[in-house]
Structure formats: structure tokens, C-alpha cells
Amino acid sequence: MSSHRGPHLAPDIPAQPAERHPFLGSKRGRPHAVSLRLRLVAFAVLAMTLVAAERLYSIVRLHSDNLAAAQDHVLDLMERGVSQFGTVTTEGRAVLSTLAAMPGTVPLDRYSITPSDADPLTPDPGVTPEAPSFCQGLAKVAEGSAVIDAISIIAPNGVVRCSTNAAGMGLDVSGRDYFRIAMRGIPTLESVTRSYATGMPSLYAAQPVVVEEGEVSAVLLARIGLNDLLPRRFLAELGAAAQVMLVGPEGTVIMAYPDRSATLGSNLADTAPVARAMSRTRGTLLATGPDDVRRVYAYSRLPGTNLHLLVGVDERRVIAPVERATFSAGLALLVLGVIILVTFWVIGERLIVAPVQSLADRLVRFGRGEPGEAPTAHTLITELQPLVTAFEAMSSELTRRESALRNANHRLNSLASLDPLTGIANRRSFDAALALQWNTVSQLAVLMIDIDKFKAFNDLYGHKEGDSCIRLVAQTMASTLRGTDLVARLGGEEFAVLMPSASLRAATEAAQRLRRAVETVAVPHRGGPAGVVTVSIGCAACEPEPGLTSSDLMVAADRALYEAKAAGRNEVRVAGAVQPSAGSTRLAPI
């Protein structure tokens, strides 16, 4: 800034005493500088507020991260508990299966019935002889097993003929579900709210003993030891105030840790964690337990049973680091606030107030037309301008690049998930949706679709018309199906439809609609079976379960498609029961 008089500024800045300007300092008007200091204090308070907001955000993030970590931890513990349960029950079932296969393990004689028995199927403990000699071998087996507390032999009328637990001899268990299921020749694992032998909630494994005639001559029953379901290493990692519960189908606690007396045998179906576990297969939640302690719970239905395992970790373990961080943040904020105030008050006088006063004096002298020396503030302000300009340019450039990057990512995502010719999902999207739905829904159906004689269509009409045909078929299918169904182009003239929660009958009906819709469009095709473009469709549906994979469902639908093409095309064929890939899938005609 030069020191010449600016004729265009002189009339706007009249020559007045410096004390008339509140931002100037002088011997007599020194208190006017307080307003600038107050502004500095306000700025310091604002800075402290921003720091406090950042600390608060960090604490909220810490709480969220700790909660997520706790959920992952409790899920891991729960998965280990499920694995341990599977190990224990598998060992118990293996023992019973081995005993059932060994000759002479159980008495093969039929239980005696007195002439007074009008109905031989009515259990009568008084006329069912005990078989204590068979218990000698069973006792050794029970003692040698770490997971079985007691083994019993039950006659076909439901009366215990032999048991390694003396309290179980002669008991009538014909009304128990495990006995009824086993008498149908099906091994089972069931829980009871109150055992006849122990009076406590128990877990039983039942194994039918089938003779050569195919009849069930007896039932082997093992009471699984609940103490082995939770090994000490597992319990040691739970921490204080943790809780583990094994609940039956009615919400009754079969096994509990650590306070067995408070919850064991109680029906907790109306409590938040148990109610959620009984209505879901697997998950986590933050809820208050039956003992009024808030915990992070993980729950899972135990495979092959109607039991649910719940593992809860005290919420205070999650909150404790947050509380410590809050205290540390508060203390650091207090210290930082004092430092900021002192710094702004002491150093601000020299670094801010003095340069502003020097600049103000220069502006006044410039307005008066008086020459003046360029103050240090002039250099300071001039040096800040390139910084502001550079920052604005950098911010503008970063904004432009971020927008370009976001647009590029959007285009890449679209190209990666959609078929460029038809605009519907591609193979990658279909595979991802199939994997997700396989682990989510209880029923899943797949349609495999192929345009009939499409190579001949390309040869007759050219690839351009072939592309138009593919687009038209894709649009027809997309407009015919439900909004929840996913239509995808797998490649060439091959399409697939994923139908979540659809039965085989619903999938078959949808396939017929698709076939008729494509035929109704009536795209000319001299080489086609009907003179127009048609499609062949293979249908398959199943319930995702252990032993099956999504590939098995796709293989079944693909085989049905080939059967439809072999039947003359423009046909729909339905796969029978979906089997693992190593097996075969029977095809059923429409």
C-alpha cells in the first residue's frame, strides 16, 4: 500500500481524533481496546467449544466401537458355546448309537402283559419286568463317558426297565416327547422342564433300538450332563456379571450360569433376551436380563434342536472405557481451556492487538493523506493473503476432484452390478443376492431360462437383432415377475431368476407366466420351435439347510432346464427334491 493521498478515499474518511474509533488505542482511549480482547476471548471460547464437540464425538464413536466390539466378542463366545454343545451332544448320541448297534445291549424279549390288561399298548409299570442285569454294562459305559450322567433302557410301553440311576427304575415316560419320537424310529435330542428322576430341568438323547423285523424293540435314553456344556475356559472369559442360559422351546431355563438357583427351571419367555432369542435364529441385542442387569446378549438356536443358547456380557464392561475416556477428555479440556485463555490474553496483545492498532493508524493516516511508514502488520496481512488464496484454490480443486471421483465410483459400481446390454442384474449381482438370500430366507426358488435356438436367430437375423431380442426378453421377464424377484442375465442368451420365499409351486406358475409372456411378444424366429422367439425354463426350490448349498439349487435348476430343452423347447420342467451335488436330482414334468 503506497503512502500517496487517495482523492477518492479522502472525502469518505474525515480527519477525526483517534479516540472516536473504538478499535484504536491511545493513552486516553486505552479502554477501547477491550472490545478486541473480548472478541479474542469469545474466539477462545469458540475454539474450546469445537474441541469439546470433537471430544464428545470421539466419545460417542468410542461407545459405538466398544459396543460393536462387545457384540463381536459375545457372538464369538456364543459360537464357541454352540460348538461345545454340538461336541457334547454328538458324543452322547454316538455312545447311544454304538450301544444300539451292539447285540445283547438291550433285552429283546417283549414286556409281559397280564390277562387283566385290556389294552396291551397301555403302559403298566407293574407288569413290565425290570432288567437289572443289563444295567451292569450300561453303568460302565456311563462312568466312562464324560458327557453322560445316566443311561436307561425303556420298553416299548414307555416303562424304564433298566437305568444306571436307581431313581429311574420303573418310571413311566410314555408321555415324553423324546420317547414318542424314538418309537417312530427317529433318534432325538429333547429337553424337559422337570426330570422324573432328578426333579430338575434336563437334556435327554433318545436312540431307538430296531430289530431285524424293522420294529422298535426298546429305546436307549441318556441324560446329558449339563456341566460339560460350558467348559471352564469358556466361563473364565465371560467376566463378572455375565450370564449364560440354555432355554427350551417354551422359554424354560434348562441350564444357567452362574446363578443356577435364581433362574434354573424358570419360564423367562416374557423377558426381552429370551423373547428375542425364541423369535430369531441368531443375533445380538442390548437388553435387561431377568436379574435386572443390562447386558449385551448373543443368542442362537442350537442346530438340530428346539433349544436356544444365550450368552450375555455386562454392559458396564463396555461403558467403563467410555467413562474413563470421558473423565480424561474433561480433564484435558479443562487444562486446554486454561492454556487457550492465557495464551489469547497474554500473547494476543502482541500478536493481534498491536498489529491491528498499527494497521488502523496507517489507515487513518492514509485517509488524512499523511505519509506513513508501512507497519509490520502490513507485512503480516499481506503474507496471509496468499495463504487464503491458496486455501480457496485448494478447496475448490479438492471439491472438484471429490465430485469427479464420486461420479466415477458411481459409474464403476453400475458397470460392475448391471448387465450393459439389458440393464438388468449381471452374474455378479445374482451370485451375491443368492448367497445373501440363502442365509436369510427359509424357502428359495431359482428359475434357469434359455432363449430357444438363439444361435440360429443370430445367424438368420444378425447380431444387432439378436441384441434387440435379448433386451426385449429381459424387459418382458422383469415386467412379469414380482418386485421381490431378481432377474439377471448370466451370459449370452441365458438368464436366471431368484425368487426369495417362493415355493416350488409358485416358482412353477411364475415360470409358465414367463414362458407365455415371451411367446406372446411374438418376435419372429423362423428357426424356432413355434416360429417365434420362445424360452425353455428349469425350476428348482428348496429350504436352505445343513448339507445343502446354493450350488446344489443352481445345479438342480440347470438340469431341469436341460430337460425342458430336451423335451422340445418352449417348455417348463421342474426339479424334484434338491440333493447335494454328488447325488442326482429327479426331474418332474409339468
The catalytic site residues sit at 493
Helix (H, G, I), strand (E, B) or coil at 463: helix
Of 294, 311, 241, which is closest to residue 80 (Cα–Cα)? 311
Helix (H, G, I), strand (E, B) or coil at 11: helix
Residue holding cell 498499527?
358
Helix (H, G, I), strand (E, B) or coil at 560: helix
Half-sphere exposure of 15 (CA within 13 A, CB side): 6
CA–CA dist 2, 139 (Å, integer): 110
Residue 235 neighbours by CB under 8 Å, 6+ apart: 244, 257, 258
Helix (H, G, I), strand (E, B) or coil at 207: strand
Helix (H, G, I), strand (E, B) or coil at 503: coil
Of 572, 506, 563, which is closest to residue 536 (Cα–Cα)? 572
Beta-bridged to residue 222, according to DSSP, are: 151, 205
Half-sphere exposure of 451 (CA within 13 A, CB side): 29
User: Per the structure block, which three cell numbers stand in for 223?
Assistant: 441324560
CA–CA dist 148, 222 (Å, integer): 6
CA–CA dist 535, 282 (Å, integer): 41
Helix, strand, coil content of the chain in percent (nearest 5): 50, 20, 30
Sheet holding 587-589, edge to edge: 486-491, 494-500, 444-451, 535-542, 572-575, 587-589
- Cis bond before residue 22 (omega within 30° of 0): no
Length of the chain: 590
Helix (H, G, I), strand (E, B) or coil at 254: strand
Helix (H, G, I), strand (E, B) or coil at 273: helix
Q: Positive or negative CA dihedral for 7, 11, 15, 21?
A: negative
| Contact (Cβ atoms closer than 8 angstroms) between residue 536 and residue 564 | yes
DSSP labels, 138-186: HHHHHHH-SSEEEEEEE-TTSBEEEESSGGGTT-B-TTSHHHHHHTTT-
